[in-house]
A and B are shown apart, each in its own frame.
Chain A
Amino acid sequence: MKQLLLGAEAIALGALDAGISGVYAYPGTPSTEITEYIQKNRGGREQPVRSAWSANEKTAYEAALGMSYAGKRSLVCMKHVGLNVAADAFINSAITGINGGMVVAVADDPSMHSSQNEQDSRVYGKFAMVPVIEPASQQELYDAVRYAFDLSEALKLPVLLRLTTRVAHSRAGVEGASIHPQNQLNAPYAPERFVLMPHNARRQYNNLLAMQPQLEEHSEQSWLNRLIPGTGTTGVLAFGIAFNYVMEVRQAFGLDCPVLKIGHYPLPRKKIEELFSSCDTILVAEEGYPVYEELLRGYFGNNNIKGRLDGTLPRAGELNADSVALALGLAKKEVMPVPDIMVNRPPELCKGCGHRDLYEALNTVMSSHEQHHVFSDIGCYTLGALAPYNAIHTCVDMGASITMAKGAADAGLRPAVAVIGDSTFTHSGMTGLLDAINDRSPLTVIIADNDTTAMTGGQNSSANGLRLLEICRGLGVEEAHLKTIIPLKSHLAENVAILREEIAREGVSVVIAQRECIETAARKKRNPAAKA
């Protein structure tokens, strides 16, 4: 019986059925539902599957590597920018290699629906020189996860599973297969692999280089790379879910062009050569950066290759059937325009959200300063950048609010104010605060503690409430300048007074604005049995 699953959920079920002993992850759209599905559906397995959220992608990655070191299968999940955070561990784990199968599921967000960039994780896969799997459909995701675990164990390398928003957040029927039992604990001593001092690292790196032809051979044989035969002089090289759009157009317009579907990297050289030798022109359709188009085109160019680099397809943003149809020379059809009366509807903070009251207080204080920069971070509170608050003026990467405020304070900017959420603070704000304390940089850090990771749907954050206070104390924040406020309308005057005093002060202050997210509070009220 088929189950209707999001692509993200298909990965989760595939990993459970492939016998993982644990999943490690930090929430991030569009990857969050992988871990959530495992958390909800891990029961009833022969052996327990650990699944709690990690503090950030780097801690998640390293824990997954440790589980693999101990011989068990592990899954680690993140959004594309999360791989930047975990990149050190990722690249080096390709040098050490792994023991138990390890799959790294990374969800890219082309068109930036919920992200600050549209970086393409396949570049990381190439950089680390590990196999990359990029399935096109929900069923393929399920099957490919199981395949990736076997491949990872056979090659003793982590396998990168790349997905993009549309397959992650689209539902389709998925059929399950047999269940692989969990691996036994098996942690052989192998310091020659895992101690990456230069003498070992050089040897291990050479081993990785020597394995590359073997990786290409696996791609050559892979079921994820296959030719859909056709006629005509134009062929299509369709990567990942670009394959879906190409096939949609092919079906809708009755085309018969040959299509080589690519879902397993490094590139299968022979298959590509076959397609190129049978066609005059090749359309390269990639969801993401024109990574392989650039490679195939070469530095001096090849006019027979069409794609994102010559404007045949748009350079940025996700593909769709319409852009692919145009690229295949089909005329643009007349459609109804969006009426002129249309206005944008940007997202906003929920009615009754504590961040609203925090920003009202903060704006009151900052309006009395000539310099009123507020450095901020990534979470629901980022919506404070929009009207009516316009309260924050930076959002760059996880944790950057504190460190950017520190640098600006070091440059002489007064006041220097940072707003960061509880989950973002534990993700990568704490170390920046330690820097500021050690350097005596005068800044005020406001931790908007809503007791959850709200933007991604209310996952548990690594620390909140009293533990945040303890962390700040432990990092060295002076007791007299470690304050807690409750962001409620009725506390406005008091909150303004506290913020005014701490922001005016020349030193490190932390103000924790504590009030539970109204969404998670409402959910708990509706379903008291839900885990607090």
Chain B
Amino acid sequence: MQMNIILAGVGGQGILTIAAVIDHATLQSSLTVRQAEVHGMSQRGGAVQSHLRISDKEIFSDLIAEGTANLILSVEPLEALRYLPFLAPDGKIVTATDSFINMVGYPSMEQILAELHRTNHPVLVNAAELAREAGNVRTSNMVMLGAAAPFIGIAAETLEASIKKLFQAKGTDIAAMNIRAFRTGEALSQLQATAT
């Protein structure tokens, strides 16, 4: 088993929290993990990404090679496209459709969607709306983790247990809300899989 996942987004959108949940779940599953992340200047509203590698064998490189990512999980639609050269031919994009526009020349949503649809059945998620339904827009990242759950190679229950574990310190309500967000995302993803 080997999974290469690129987590993408904009500094401050919570991709490191997604990474922390997957990391935790990986250790619970007795798999090896390497997860490279970005600290420093780009965290101030710049493009950020994390390379996450899971395997049942030794992992050497902290970085994913081009054309070998099984999954690009993005919390912003344009950011999903930034890492296309890393996507494996049969790799999957799971992305939020909520644009984060903090620069000039941001392309139109039609253009972004057209590019996304050139990849293998992308899973497109109205994450902010689903997060609000779950209780708080800040749970968007857990909606996205839920939507990506069928493609990560780790059981959804294990991921849920890790969410619970990591959010427990902030209160039972917050943990429950994040699990709700996760399940909403997962349900949507299952629905889209059946439709395609």
Residues in A lying within 8 Å of B, measured CB to CB:
2, 4, 29-30, 32-33, 113-114, 166-167, 169-173, 241, 243-245, 247-248, 251-252, 320-322, 325, 333-339, 341-350, 380, 383, 387, 455-457
> How many Å lie between the Cα of A517 and that of B182 in the bound state?
32
Chain B residues with Cβ under 8 A from A243's Cβ?
60
Chain B residues with Cβ under 8 A from A346's Cβ?
46, 103
Q: B65 near A322 (CB under 8 angstroms)?
A: yes
Q: B67 near A383 (CB under 8 angstroms)?
A: no
B7 in contact (CB, < 8 A): no
The 6 closest A-B pairs by CB, nearest first: A114-B40, A347-B46, A29-B40, A248-B61, A170-B62, A170-B36
Q: A341 near B60 (CB under 8 angstroms)?
A: no
Interface size on B, residues (CB 8 A): 48
**Stretch of B81-89, B139-147, B152-160, B187-195 that contacts chain A:** B81-89
Residue of A nearest to B57 (CB): A251
B161 in contact (CB, < 8 A): no
Chain A residues with Cβ under 8 A from B85's Cβ?
335-338
Q: Report the minimum CB–CB distance from B10 to chain A (whole Å).
A: 7
Chain A residues with Cβ under 8 A from B10's Cβ?
345
Residue of B nearest to A246 (CB): B60
Q: A348 with B62: in contact, given A171-B35, A338-B85 (CB under 8 Å)?
A: no
> How many Å lie between the Cα of A171 and that of B34 in the bound state?
6
8 Å CB contacts to A: which residues of B52-66? 59-63, 65-66
Chain A residues with Cβ under 8 A from B172's Cβ?
none
B43 in contact (CB, < 8 A): yes
B98 in contact (CB, < 8 A): no
Q: Report the minimum CB–CB distance from A425 to chain B (whole Å).
A: 20
Q: B103 near A345 (CB under 8 angstroms)?
A: yes
Interface residue SS majority, chain A = loop
B176 in contact (CB, < 8 A): no
**Would you give the 0/1 interface string for B108-131, flagging 1 where the beta carbon is closer than 8 Å to chain A?**
000110010001000000000000
Q: Report the minimum CB–CB distance from B61 to chain A (whole Å).
A: 4
Q: Report the minimum CB–CB distance from B11 to chain A (whole Å).
A: 7
Chain B residues with Cβ under 8 A from A349's Cβ?
44
Residue of B62, B79, B87, B111 with most partner-chain A CB within 10 A: B62
Chain B residues with Cβ under 8 A from A245's Cβ?
60-61, 63
Chain B residues with Cβ under 8 A from A350's Cβ?
44-45
Q: A244 near B40 (CB under 8 angstroms)?
A: no
Residue of B nearest to A166 (CB): B62
Residues in B lying within 8 Å of A, measured CB to CB:
10-11, 23-24, 27, 32-47, 51, 59-63, 65-67, 78-79, 81-82, 84-87, 102-107, 111-112, 115, 119
Q: A247 near B60 (CB under 8 angstroms)?
A: yes
Q: A33 near B39 (CB under 8 angstroms)?
A: yes
Q: A338 near B81 (CB under 8 angstroms)?
A: yes
Q: Report the minimum CB–CB distance from A417 to chain B (whole Å).
A: 23
Chain B residues with Cβ under 8 A from A248's Cβ?
60-61, 65
Q: A336 near B87 (CB under 8 angstroms)?
A: yes
Chain A residues with Cβ under 8 A from B51's Cβ?
170
Q: A173 with B33: in contact, given A245-B60, A338-B81, A383-B44 (CB under 8 Å)?
A: yes
Q: Report the minimum CB–CB distance from A452 to chain B (whole Å).
A: 14
Q: B60 near A322 (CB under 8 angstroms)?
A: no
Q: A172 near B34 (CB under 8 angstroms)?
A: yes
Q: A171 near B44 (CB under 8 angstroms)?
A: no
Q: Report the minimum CB–CB distance from B45 to chain A (whole Å).
A: 4
Q: B41 near A113 (CB under 8 angstroms)?
A: yes
| Apart from the given pairs A337-B84, A344-B103, 14 other A-B contacts in the complex at a CB distance below 8 Å | A4-B24, A114-B41, A172-B32, A252-B65, A333-B67, A335-B67, A335-B85, A342-B81, A343-B107, A345-B45, A345-B102, A347-B44, A350-B44, A455-B40
Chain A residues with Cβ under 8 A from B40's Cβ?
29-30, 113-114, 455-456
Q: B84 near A336 (CB under 8 angstroms)?
A: yes
Q: Report the minimum CB–CB distance from A428 to chain B (whole Å).
A: 20
> How many Å lie between the Cα of A333 and that of B67 in the bound state?
8
Residue of B nearest to A320 (CB): B63
Chain B residues with Cβ under 8 A from A333's Cβ?
66-67
Residue of B nearest to A346 (CB): B46
> How many Å lie between the Cα of A247 and that of B60 in the bound state?
6
Q: A30 near B62 (CB under 8 angstroms)?
A: no
Q: B81 near A244 (CB under 8 angstroms)?
A: no
Q: Report the minimum CB–CB distance from B118 to chain A (whole Å).
A: 8
Contact of A339 among B32, B35, B103, B115 (CB under 8 A): B115
> How many Å lie between the Cα of A2 and that of B34 in the bound state?
13
> How many Å lie between the Cα of A33 and that of B115 in the bound state?
38
Residue of B nearest to A333 (CB): B67
19 contacts between A and B (CB under 8 A): A29-B41, A114-B40, A166-B36, A166-B63, A173-B33, A245-B60, A325-B65, A336-B85, A336-B119, A338-B81, A342-B81, A343-B103, A343-B104, A345-B45, A345-B79, A349-B44, A383-B44, A387-B104, A455-B41
> How many Å lie between the Cα of A39 and that of B78 in the bound state?
38
Q: A2 with B107: in contact, given A173-B32, A320-B65 (CB under 8 Å)?
A: no
Contact of A345 among B35, B36, B46, B63 (CB under 8 A): B46
Q: B81 near A241 (CB under 8 angstroms)?
A: no
Contact of B39 among A29, A241, A341 (CB under 8 A): A29
Q: Report the minimum CB–CB distance from B112 to chain A (whole Å).
A: 7
